[in-house]
Amino acid sequence: MTQSLVQNASLPAAAEAPWWKGAAIYQIYPRSFADSNGDGIGDLAGITTRLDYVAALGVDAIWLSPFYPSPMDDFGYDIADYCGVDPIFGTLADFDALVARAHALGLKVTTDLVFAHTSDRHAWFAESRASKDNDKADWYVWADAKPDGSPPTNWQSVFGGPAWTWDARRGQYYMHNFLASQPQLNVHNAAVQDALLGVVRFWLDRGVDGFRIDAINFSMHDPELRDNPPAPPSNKVRTRPFDFQQKIHNQSHPDIPLFLERIRALTDQYEGSFTVAEVGGDDAVREMKLFTAGDGRLNSAYGFDFLYADRLTPQLVREAAEQWPDTPGLGWPSWAFENHDAPRAVSRWTPEGVDGQAYARMKMALLCALRGNIILYNGEELGLDQVEIPFELVKDPEALKNWPLTLSRDGARTPLPWAAGEAHAGFSIADPWLPLGSTHDALAVDRQQDDPASLLNLTRQLVGLRAAHPALRLGRDARWIAEGDLLGFDRIADGDHIRCLFNLGGAIIDVAAHGAGGTPIAALNGADPAHLPPCGALWLKLEGTN
């Protein structure tokens, strides 16, 4: 038997807390979740038909990656209209139906908002570029060329090349931190902020419960247009000019928190609303804390502690978690091991010679034990691995610009397998926009649904245990262990004390001394209170030790 879990229905009630605190959130990448109309691309109606599956996971909410009108240069993160639905995904009526069904199932709905830039097809940009004196002339970041005609600063874009593109209509350069077709909004401008707040209100009025705000630390630049200094020498392979600079003037302006306070003031008018920031970069932890400090900014933030880590180590987990102690005024963290931008964790982290599905079970138990919100990426509950996409099928613009040194994000964006043996594993009757992984048919939902030992059913049980135990959902951390491959920590709330032990390596670990007589509520991959086999995981209920 690879796993043993015990449900406990007689636990004390958790302290009164907002729904999102300690929540489990399921990220849906709409293009690849479920196709209802047979065009090979997932859509909103497809998501709605599969919400029962999501609700059965026991999660509290869904997070929808962008579904707005877009030319899809960056697959929806280049928004051409903040208040609509791209026809490939359906209509606003389809979105309303999705929200209604989710709410009927007890699921909150959060959506992705991109406030650092728009598509160059957005009507705001069309007006802004038309002249230097129209109503939206200052809604984007424009600057004159240097006397020699070169760009205004040395800033580089994330996707490669200068962060400036010449526009003959205005006779100026416009800034873009990402693709040239993603012009930078001038969020210093109060009118731009007002317009973005109007977007927030639009979706809240349609029943949305919260937002994940993309790349928010890119939303404001240095108005003095100072050059970035060079980055210090590094042993890491640098694939982009962006990596050769300290990114201190093209992003991360100190006025960003003032804008976040305006967002929070608005969302607080809607009971139960939730905001989480995505923050990457060299100074992410400081900015995450800044963006969530006190009660007047965003509710939570998550970074890239785990998303781009090539190894999962006890030290990494401990260091990441200890940056967020249970301290008054300090923000509440969110954690993700996988998402649409990062390679599948089971492919990055599984040690050589270790069974990938056993590792996936341990990894899920670890995620569900962390203090903070947890975000599961669609397919993570099935144990999907990274798909090797041949160059001729690559869609990811970042990979195309930096091939072959930048791993394609497409390998984590492939369609979800619903039915083994069916065409395209039941995702669509048409050829899908990206190919399914060769191993994914065997991991399809229908194969795992009725298998008590499957990762899918284990995920349901772990998420249920997390929700049932106040210590796991809301408790503080204590008694960290990070010794070799052994990771351990306690989660403690009033009347509830759980000890969590994990073997991240390939050899058996004696943990008899660390168990301290606890009663197992979860024991995975052959673990018992004395031993952790490779990929072993234990959750132990301790009595009278708060």
Task: Write down the pLDDT at residue 7.
Answer: 59
Q: To the nearest whole percent, how much of the chain has pLDDT over 90?
A: 92
- Tens digits of per-residue pLDDT, 49-93? 999 999 999 999 999 999 999 999 999 999 999 999 999 999 999
For residue 425, pLDDT over 90 is answered with: yes
The runs of H, that is alpha helices, within 339-498 are 345-349, 356-369, 397-402, 445-449, 455-468, 470-474
Q: How far apart are CA 431 and CA 38, in angstroms?
A: 9
Domain parsing of the chain, residue ranges: 21-120+188-466
Q: How far apart are CA 114 and CA 67, in angstroms?
A: 12
Q: How far apart are CA 422 and CA 405, in angstroms?
A: 35
Among this protein's residues, is 222 annotated catalytic? Answer: no
**What is residue 55's three-state secondary structure?**
helix
Q: Would you state the torsion angle of the CA atoms of residues 147, 152, 155, 156, taken in this order, to the nearest 10 degrees?
A: -80
Q: How far apart are CA 167 and CA 361, in angstroms?
A: 52
- Tens digits of per-residue pLDDT, 487-508? 999 999 988 999 999 999 999 9
Cβ atoms of 469 and 498 within 8 Å: the answer is yes
DSSP 163-185: SEEEETTTTEEEE-SS-TTSPBB
Q: Which two tokens stand for residue 219?
A: 């939303």
pLDDT band for 313, please (50, 70, 90 cuts): very high
Is 21-120+188-466 a CATH 3.20.20.80 domain?
yes
Task: Write down the pLDDT at residue 516.
Answer: 74
For residue 268, pLDDT over 90 is answered with: yes
User: What value does the mean pLDDT of the chain take?
Assistant: 95
Cβ of 325: how many Cβ atoms within 10 Å?
10
- Lowest mean pLDDT, pick from 200-214, 313-327, 513-527: 513-527
For residue 187, pLDDT over 80 is answered with: yes
What is the sign, positive or negative, of the torsion defined by CA atoms of 129, 134, 135, 140?
A: positive
For residue 102, pLDDT over 90 is answered with: yes
**What is residue 325's three-state secondary structure?**
coil
- Which is catalytic among the residues 35, 60, 78, 214? 214
Q: What are phi and psi of 199, to 5 degrees?
A: -65, -45
Place of tokens 């970074």: 303
- Which is catalytic among the residues 43, 60, 209, 278? 278
What is the sign, positive or negative, of the torsion defined by CA atoms of 141, 186, 255, 333?
A: negative
Task: Write down the pLDDT at residue 31.
Answer: 98
Among this protein's residues, is 278 annotated catalytic? Answer: yes
pLDDT band for 522, please (50, 70, 90 cuts): very high
Q: What are phi and psi of 284, to 5 degrees?
A: -65, -45
Residue type, 292: T
Task: Write down the pLDDT at residue 2.
Answer: 58
- Tens digits of per-residue pLDDT, 9-61? 444 444 589 999 999 999 999 999 999 999 999 999 999 999 999 999 999 99
User: pTM score, two decimals?
Assistant: 0.97
pLDDT band for 1, please (50, 70, 90 cuts): very low
Task: Write down the pLDDT at residue 13.
Answer: 45
